[in-house]
Chain A
Amino acid sequence: MELNVIIKTISKYWPMFIRGAGVTLVISIIGTIIGFIIGLIIGVIRTIPMPEKGFKRILLKIVNATLAVYIEVFRGTPMIVQAMVIYYGSKQAFNIDMTPLFAGIFIVSINTGAYMAEIVRGGIVSIDKGQFEAAYAIGMSHVQTMVNVVLPQAIRNILPAIGNEFVINIKDTSVLNVISVTELFFQTKSVAGNNFKYFETFFIASAIYLVMTFTVTRILRFIERKMDGPENYIIYANQMQVETPEDALRREQLMKGNK
């Protein structure tokens, strides 16, 4: 490996690397967020208590079965194959001409959604039954219980798994080069095709991937800590809740300590 080749490659082709990394980030960020929303909705539906009888029970059974098929299919096939089937299939069967970028985001989203659905469901069922019962006992509906009590706790618990999906998505968008999405791998291939320095060029790409995944992991750690809140609480000495100077000082120190 020659350092001057690396430097030359970067100085000549850096706009292509940047654009590729940008597309990779856009697809994996949007794909992870949409996938998470899909997972959230499916996770909540799959944990609705089964009604004992009537139309609602039948409807819920059908919906649950459909969702189970979706999850199985997208978890059970490689994303590279899904990309080919959806991109070319939509052209051929439905005459829909997606841009590669749109197709990429679409595929990553529904693929991530299948994984997230199971992650979210696991997060919900791991929450103590007492939390649901206390919410029902003060008159909350299933949706209110989910939004105000269960999901905030479940999401906190599954945050590491969500971060994992995000990191996987950053790496796995590289398979989208098969449908000509101009993400980082695709761009790297083009550069290497020009300068014939395969090793050096892909070495640069791997460094960029590593920087992206490392940054994302750090940011998620930070969010986790933010969600946990301060370790200590302030005792209010009087009912007016006027802070004494000592309290204010302590609070400021606490806030600093948690940053």
Chain B
Amino acid sequence: MKKIIEVQHLSKIFGEHEVLKDIDFSVSKGEVVCIIGSSGSGKSTLLRCINLLEKPSGGQILYNGENILDDKHDTRTYRTKLGMVFQQFNLFNNHDVLSNCMIGQVKVLKRSKAEAREVAMKYLKVVGMEQFINAKPRQLSGGQKQRVAIARALSMEPDVMLFDEPTSALDPEMVGEVLKVMRELAESGLTMLVVTHEMGFAREVADRVVFMDKGVIAEEGTPEQIFNNPTQERTREFLKRTLQQN
């Protein structure tokens, strides 16, 4: 399998605090990778390093074999290849639903308005929000906002989608609608890197599960290996704790 993203010896230090330590991992084309782990273990920071919202303190990130930390590498073009979905949705409050999905295409990818509109409508239909194109973000429920945020990211037609706990800020009854969309995307063959607390989703949808603990990757493997036969003591403990809560 062709590797799209390769993270090598990545580290991130905030002041004195080493949040990521010597992280090595990769995502291949068409793969769905879920990152699990307890709060504060550095999952968000890893995702944010990958799309350069945080500047890594050390190590390398290769995108299709190219080092994106190289000064000559164009960060903005690289970011258009990654679609990011945030825990807090972060829809543009001053734009309506359709415009949220068009603005990046028009301003960054320089697509024509007509083309951008067509692409946006296509992905709004994928997430089931095509009826709401005139709504402003403040008029939508959390689940609806997150589905629009997913459509916005998809409209840029990225190579990889990054999700940072997309359902953690949602009321329980809205989690399902978002997970359903993500499941469909996974089945369509999209490459996805998902930070999640939804163990059911990770178990059923992921090709590979990565367990992070205190800034390192403690264990990784197929969902079968991680959930049924974890080799590490801390993985077992984490799973016991989370599964008890649910």
Chain B residues in the interface with A (C-beta under 8 A): 51, 53, 55, 76-77, 79-80, 82, 84, 86, 88-96, 103-104, 107-109, 121, 125, 130-136, 139, 149, 152-153, 156
Contacts and interface: CB of A to CB of B under 8 A. Distances in A.
A130 B88 contact: yes
Interface in A123-167: 128, 130-131, 133-141, 144, 148-149, 152-153, 156
A1 interface: no
Interface stretch (A104-112, A182-190, A209-217, A231-239): A231-239
B131 A136 contact: no
Contacts of B84: 134, 137-138
A138 B156 contact: yes
Contacts of A136: 53, 79
A194 to B, nearest CB: 54
Contact of B77 (A134, A137, A139): A139
A41 to B, nearest CB: 20
Contact of A229 (B51, B53, B136): B136
A136 B108 CA distance: 10
8 contacts: A130-B90, A133-B86, A137-B53, A138-B156, A139-B156, A140-B108, A233-B135, A233-B139
Interface residues of A, number: 28
A138 B134 contact: no
A245 B80 CA distance: 41
Nearest to B52: A136
Contact of B108 (A52, A138, A234, A236): A138
Contacts of B79: 136-139
7 nearest CB pairs, A to B:
A130-B90, A138-B104, A134-B90, A233-B135, A139-B80, A137-B84, A139-B108
Contact of A235 (B109, B132, B153): B132
Nearest to A227: B94
B90 A233 contact: no
B75 to A, nearest CB: 8
A185 to B, nearest CB: 40
A234 B58 CA distance: 50
Contacts of B88: 130
A128 B93 CA distance: 10
Contacts of A237: 131
Given A134-B86, A236-B134, 15 more contacts: A128-B90, A134-B149, A135-B92, A136-B53, A137-B51, A138-B80, A138-B153, A138-B156, A139-B76, A140-B108, A144-B108, A152-B94, A233-B96, A234-B134, A239-B130
Given A139-B80, A239-B121, A134 B91 contact: yes
Given A137-B79, A139-B80, A236-B134, A148 B107 contact: yes
Contact of B92 (A131, A156, A232, A235): A131
A133 B76 contact: no
Contacts of A241: 133
A130 B44 CA distance: 14
